Structure 1
Amino acid sequence: MFDISPFKLVALIVLAVIIFGPDKLPKLVADAMGIIRKIREFSDSAKEDIRKELGPEFKDFEFEDLNPKTFVRKQLATHGEEFGLNDLQELKNGFSKDAAAATAAVKSVRSDPLAKVADDSAPQVDMAKPESTPAAAERPAYDVDAT
């Protein structure tokens, strides 16, 4: 629930000792634990009341199932065939193989940039620079009013 590293925990303890002092700190910790205990008892009794009110039809009801991730995971586990989960898994595996092949091809071209990628039947593009540039007389005149 909480992601506290050991360094942060030590820093919080030192900060608590500095702010509250070593005399008051044990009483504050005991009070905090009592509050947490009361909150847990309250939530447990509320869950039991809800289960009693729902009746025997919902005897296997779990509150964790109300979490959307848990609900979806549970539904896919029980009805995976109906939703085509196996087809999606096969599609994913096929895509992974195709992606691996494409990655290998790109890496091979990247390692040898002069390697010929296209086959001989592909049309060749002339990348040579033209020998002369068009003369200034061939260029269209600049129109100040057009801009």
Structure 2
Amino acid sequence: MFPDVGLPELVTLAILAVLLFGPDKLPEIIQNAAEFIRKVRAFSDSAKEEIRSELGPEFKDFEFEDLHPKTFVRKHVLDGDGDGIGRDLGLDDIRGALDPRKELAEVADAVREVADDTDPRTAAPPVTLAKTDRPEASARSAFDPDAT
């Protein structure tokens, strides 16, 4: 129910409960809480059975967890078990069309082929990132603010 609650948290809650309620009242409070939880579970189970009986025999295997939106979409639209409407909608085709891996692999293969076919003697000189000497001021064009 609470997967993130570990032993240190439970010990802290137990110490806090003993400090707040005292050792004399604590067993009575625990019994009342357990009884309340049992009543809520019984009420929930009876409500579920009543809804199933009202829906009729065609919904006898109906699960309330299927009403959760994520579960509903996964089961009925995205075709989690193979017989939903996901195949009819062509969702697999859409997923394949939106996946860029195939196109990227084709581009990478084309670049590799071109790189392998080029002759190193006729290839362009390698690009360096080192700064080169700046051209002289006379070789540069003057900036004209009115030209913009």
Partner of 1:19: 20
DSSP-derived class of the 1:79 partner: coil
Counterparts of 2:14 and 2:61 in 1: how far apart (Å)? 42
Number of equivalenced pairs: 124
Following the alignment from structure 1 to structure 2, what is the Cα–Cα distance between the partners of residues 5 and 136?
76
Identity of aligned residues (%): 54
Are residues 50 and 74 of structure 1, via their aligned partners in 2, closer, same or farther at CA, if it must alter by over 3 Å? same
Q: Distance in 1 between matches of 2:48 and 2:84?
A: 30
Task: Give yes or no for the alignment of 1:79 onto 2:97.
Answer: no
The TM-score with structure 1 as length reference comes to 0.61
Deviation at 1:89, TM superposition (A): 9.5
Q: What's the counterpart of residue 115 of structure 1? A: none
What's the counterpart of residue 39 of structure 2? Answer: 38
- Partner Cα separation in structure 2 for residue 86 and residue 4 of structure 1: 39
Q: What is the RMSD of the two structures over their aligned residues, measured on CA atoms?
A: 3.9
Residue 5 of structure 2: SS of its match in structure 1? coil
Aligned to 2:111: none
Task: Give 1:54 deviation, angstroms.
Answer: 0.8
Deviation at 1:134, TM superposition (A): 3.0
**2:137 aligns to what?**
135
For structure 1, the 5+ residue unaligned runs are 103-117
**Deviation sequence 1:38-77 (CA, Å, 0-9, x none):** 1111111111111121112212211122123333444420
Shift of 1:132: 4.1
